[in-house]
Amino acid sequence: MRVRLKDVAARAGVAVNTASTILNRRPNSWASKETEARVFKAAEELGYRPNRAAVGLRYGRFNTIALLIADLHNPYYTTFADLLEVEAERHGYDVLIESWRTDLAREKHCLEYIMDRQVDGVAAFLSNPEVHRAFLEQRFQAGRPFVGLAFAGGQPMPVDSVLVDFEGGLSEAIETLCNFGHRRFAFLSALAEGQESGSRPELFRRLLAEKGISTGEFDSVRCDPTIESARAAARELLKRPREDRPTALIALNDLSAIGALRAAMECGLRVPEELSVVGVDDIPLGRFLPVALSTIAQPLADMARRTATMLIERIEGDRHSEPQRAVFSTRFIARESTGSVNLKRS
């Protein structure tokens, strides 16, 4: 049978309310250190585990936050989840992880029902904050702690947000590639079905124009958020005649860039001599590939730390002050997959 709170109280020789106050570490405890030690010892001896649902319903807090991610298969999201979990644990919180599996209908479903999962707050990677604006406004007005995670750009969210400024790292990557002599570029945009491409292709086009690269020297290609789809899309680009195909390709994430690397090999192209490839996210795998992947890195540890702080401050403090907004910059990391253009085979 499940050990009950009153069993612990009886073993320790205290009232049930006293045992509850001590085990839940509530600040209004008047118990002595000796009494506290006796209660904790009794709980350990009996194998007592508090019913988190009952505690949450009684005291209005579950000490659990939820993280909604787009794809469990993408190391970017799982790395962030691990970092957030470590940071949350430092503050006495657990993390529940849910994936919307790059399915926009499932994303909407998860957002609407995740607060029913006995959690105190939610952090969510959003496909498009504008699509969910009405929902986010309702969350904030109801005092439900929520942190939106997305790329910077567009209108400020009506909830707390942790955003990534893609421009800095992309500008550094383009500057490096242009200095290597590249004049034909491609942008591989890995998106869920029905997801809008947002401002990133236009940002790419603008930064290229500032370097004198015309629209005719730039291709923006869409693919699904899988390595296989990225590989297939890149193959179509790379099968073009030499004078029409890109010599530099930037993918929306590292997984897509890995697909492009595979496509280049299958098309008989040397990396980086005939094709330079850049990803986004700096997943750990990228630096250990046969050709180490150049990438646009995000400060994931800092982002996870700020996300946890925002959520916990809302859970434990003022739930109706103005939404906070943290924007993190990106940086380009050059590795073996980028280099000077050399279309002549030895």
Domains and CATH numbers, the chain: 5-50 (1.10.260.40), 64-160+300-327 (3.40.50.2300), 166-298 (3.40.50.2300)
The predicted structure's pLDDT at residue 87: 96
The predicted structure's pLDDT at residue 307: 98
Distances (CA, A) of 106 to 81, 127, 196, 225, 254: 19, 11, 16, 15, 24
The predicted structure's pLDDT at residue 64: 93
Long-range contacts from 343-346, C-beta under 8 angstroms, 24+ separation: 343/242, 343/247, 343/273, 343/274, 345/270
The predicted structure's pLDDT at residue 346: 40
Provide the whole-model pTM.
0.84
The predicted structure's pLDDT at residue 51: 63
Least confident of 113-122, 180-189, 292-301, 329-338: 113-122
The predicted structure's pLDDT at residue 24: 72
The per-residue pLDDT of the chain, averaged, comes to 91
Taking residues 42-46, what's their average pLDDT?
90
The predicted structure's pLDDT at residue 131: 93
Over 50: is that where the pLDDT of 118 sits? yes
User: DSSP strand E in the chain: where?
Assistant: 64-69, 94-99, 121-125, 146-151, 160-165, 185-190, 218-223, 248-251, 276-281, 294-297, 325-329, 331-333
The percent of residues in the chain predicted with pLDDT above 90, rounded, is: 75
